[in-house]
């Protein structure tokens, strides 16, 4: 069913695996350790050094296929590399493949003007700045994006932005220089034409990052997630993306690839969890036998292998379908992967935590933070229930 992996993609994957073994795994604890408070949101010197090393080795912008700044991979090819990237929570940023920058770069490449690309896309592709995507709001159920209340109002040659956003990934970072903000520009328009997206420089007067938000206690510094207030923020009219009322159209173009990239990475995370579950089971002795000799543990290991293979197949199918028929036509396949993979990866990681006992809950292994990450995505990028509802409607229509 699937295409052959090209020699170029295969070579990139091999080099990426070697880089991970040599530079990421040995330094993972340092890369993920909470920094001192004064340096929490600043770039980490070790990460900066590894980023430069990755760039000089050509392991850079692996996702990008809109120009010479990337590697020209298909979604299906990138999925093979993304699984390798996903084995460590520290890795994506090192290769300039981290969310939300990947989605924002894709968005700017597809919908940005030449001026917008020059100002924002170019430095993002070079890894000189970071960005954030401000959509979710604390006062409304943002799983229904028509609820969004942030105002984007035209005032002469400017737009004025007013609203409060949260779960704005990347906003606390000192390197975050621009936000893509979704808000309501015309409340009187048709339901899905009320929203627009606009580029807001983070140093604009009226932009305040009020606080970082934690996921089960993890702040994910130095990128993090923030609650951000936009108080009468004035930005030039040319910062509007694609045009007024095009916010939903842009969102669908952005969120589809972003969802599948998360799923690709979670396959790698689950594979690594299974590996260390097996290692722990072989070496740990309880009640006179190794854990690997116990039926319940063997059942957990066997089920985890089955689960990962299923998750990988639905992810590969979604990526392959995106390449063949486009992101919009592949929306059902993307939805299946978005529902299935975080839940399966979370279940595998949870079993690995159980086999590790108290150690699995600690910072000595990556498992606790990995579990928090997979649980987060069952809400992030649209709750599972929203995707199930959309799938049900499609299935009912198909069976009619």
The number of C-alpha atoms within 13 Å of 342 and in the hemisphere containing its C-beta is: 23
Q: Check whether residue 329 and residue 353 sit in a common domain.
A: yes
Q: Say yes or no: 254 and 389 in one domain.
A: yes
Q: What is the largest CA-CA distance in the chain?
A: 78
Q: Are residues 332 and 306 in the same domain?
A: yes
* Residue at 59 is within a domain: yes
> For 363-379, what is each residue's pLDDT tens digit?
999 999 999 999 999 99
The chain-wide mean pLDDT, for the chain, equals 94
Indicate which CATH number applies to the domain containing 227.
2.40.110.10
Whether residue 175 lies inside any domain: the answer is: yes
> By percentage, how much of the chain surpasses pLDDT 70?
99
For residue 38, being part of any structural domain is answered with: yes
* Domain final residue pick, 48, 74, 98: 98
Does residue 225 form part of some domain?
Answer: yes
Is residue 236 domain-shared with residue 372, that is, in the same domain? no
369 and 293 housed in the same domain:
yes
pLDDT tens string 106-124: 999 999 999 999 999 999 9
Q: How far is CA 311 from CA 300, 323, 339, in A?
A: 16, 19, 10
Here the CATH number for the domain that contains residue 259 is 1.20.140.10
Asked, for residue 220, whether it belongs to a domain, the answer is yes
Q: How many structural domains comprise the chain? A: 3
Task: Tell me the angle at which helices 295-325 and 247-283 cross, rounded to the nearest 10 degrees.
Answer: 150
Do residue 260 and residue 356 come from a single domain?
yes
Query: At residue 226, does pLDDT exceed 80?
Result: yes
304: pLDDT confidence band, cut at 50, 70 and 90? Answer: very high
Q: Over the stretch 247-260, which tens digit does the pLDDT of each residue have?
A: 998 987 776 677 88
Which of 241, 262, 292 terminates a domain? The answer is: 241
pLDDT the model gives residue 255: 67
Residues 235 and 271 in one domain: no
- On whether residue 103 sits in a domain, the answer given is no
For the stretch 311-353, pLDDT in tens is 999 999 999 999 999 988 999 999 999 999 999 999 999 999 9
One domain for residues 254 and 379: yes
Q: Is the pLDDT of residue 223 over 70?
A: yes
Task: Find the domain containing 218 and state its range.
Answer: 131-241
Q: Are residues 236 and 261 in the same domain?
A: no
In a domain, 124, yes or no: no
pLDDT at residue 194, as a whole number: 96
Considering 187, 206, 241, which residue would you say is the last residue of a domain? 241
CA separation for the pair 261, 168 (Å, rounded): 18
**Same domain? 377 vs 258:** yes
pLDDT at 35: 84
pLDDT at residue number 138: 97
User: Are residues 273 and 227 both part of a single domain?
Assistant: no
- pLDDT of amino acid 260: 87
Query: Do the domain assignments include residue 123?
Result: no
Residue 285 has pLDDT above 70, yes or no: yes
| CATH number, residue 77 | 1.10.540.10
- Give residue-wise pLDDT tens across range 16-68: 999 999 999 999 999 998 888 889 999 999 999 999 999 999 999 999 999 99
pLDDT for residue 254: 72
| Residue 36 DSSP class | P
CA atoms within 13 A on the CB side of 393: 8
* Mean pLDDT along residues 191-198: 95
- Segment 34-45, tens digit of pLDDT: 888 889 999 999
Is the pLDDT reported for residue 221 higher than 80?
yes
d(CA 279, CA 13): 25
75 and 37 inside one domain:
yes
* Structural element, H or E, at residue 42: none
Where helices occur in the chain by DSSP H, the ranges are 7-19, 28-32, 45-56, 75-85, 91-94, 101-111, 114-116, 122-125, 247-283, 295-325, 331-356, 367-377, 384-399
């Amino acid at each position: 069913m699937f295409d052959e992996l090209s020699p170029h993609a295969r070579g990139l994957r091999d080099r990426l695996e070697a880089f991970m073994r040599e530079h990421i795994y040995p330094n993972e604890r340092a890369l993920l350790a909470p920094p001192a408070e004064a340096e929490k949101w600043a770039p980490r010197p070790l990460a900066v050094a590894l980023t430069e090393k990755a760039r000089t080795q050509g392991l850079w912008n692996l996702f990008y296929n809109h120009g010479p700044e990337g590697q020209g991979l298909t979604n299906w090819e990138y999925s093979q590399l993304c699984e390798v990237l996903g084995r460590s929570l520290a890795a994506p940023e090192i290769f300039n493949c981290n969310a939300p920058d990947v989605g924002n770069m894709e968005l700017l490449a597809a919908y940005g003007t030449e001026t917008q690309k020059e100002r924002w896309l170019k430095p993002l592709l070079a890894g000189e700045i970071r960005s954030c995507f401000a959509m979710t709001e604390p006062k409304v159920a943002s799983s229904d994006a028509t609820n969004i209340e942030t105002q984007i109002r035209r005032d002469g040659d400017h737009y004025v932005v007013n609203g409060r956003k949260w779960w704005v990934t990347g906003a606390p970072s000192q390197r975050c220089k621009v936000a893509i903000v979704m808000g309501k520009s015309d409340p009187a328009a048709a339901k899905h034409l009320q929203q627009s997206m606009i580029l807001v420089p983070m140093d604009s007067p009226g932009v305040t990052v009020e606080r970082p938000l934690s996921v089960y206690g993890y702040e994910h510094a130095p990128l993090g997630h923030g609650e951000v207030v936009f108080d009468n923020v004035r930005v030039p009219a040319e910062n509007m993306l694609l045009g007024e009322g095009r916010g939903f159209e842009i969102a669908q173009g952005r969120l589809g690839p972003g969802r599948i990239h998360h799923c690709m990475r979670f396959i790698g995370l689950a594979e690594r969890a299974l590996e260390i579950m097996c290692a722990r089971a072989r070496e740990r002795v309880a009640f006179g036998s190794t854990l690997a000799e116990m039926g319940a543990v063997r059942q957990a290991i066997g089920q985890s292998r089955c689960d990962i293979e299923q998750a990988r197949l639905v992810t590969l199918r979604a990526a392959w379908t995106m390449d063949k028929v486009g992101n919009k036509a592949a929306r059902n396949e993307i939805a299946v992967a978005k529902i299935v993979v975080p839940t399966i990866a979370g279940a595998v990681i949870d079993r690995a935590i159980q086999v590790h006992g108290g150690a699995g809950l600690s910072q000595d292994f990556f498992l606790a933070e990995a579990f928090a990450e997979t649980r987060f995505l069952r809400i992030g990028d649209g709750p599972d229930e929203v995707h199930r509802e959309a799938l049900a409607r499609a299935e009912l229509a198909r069976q009619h």
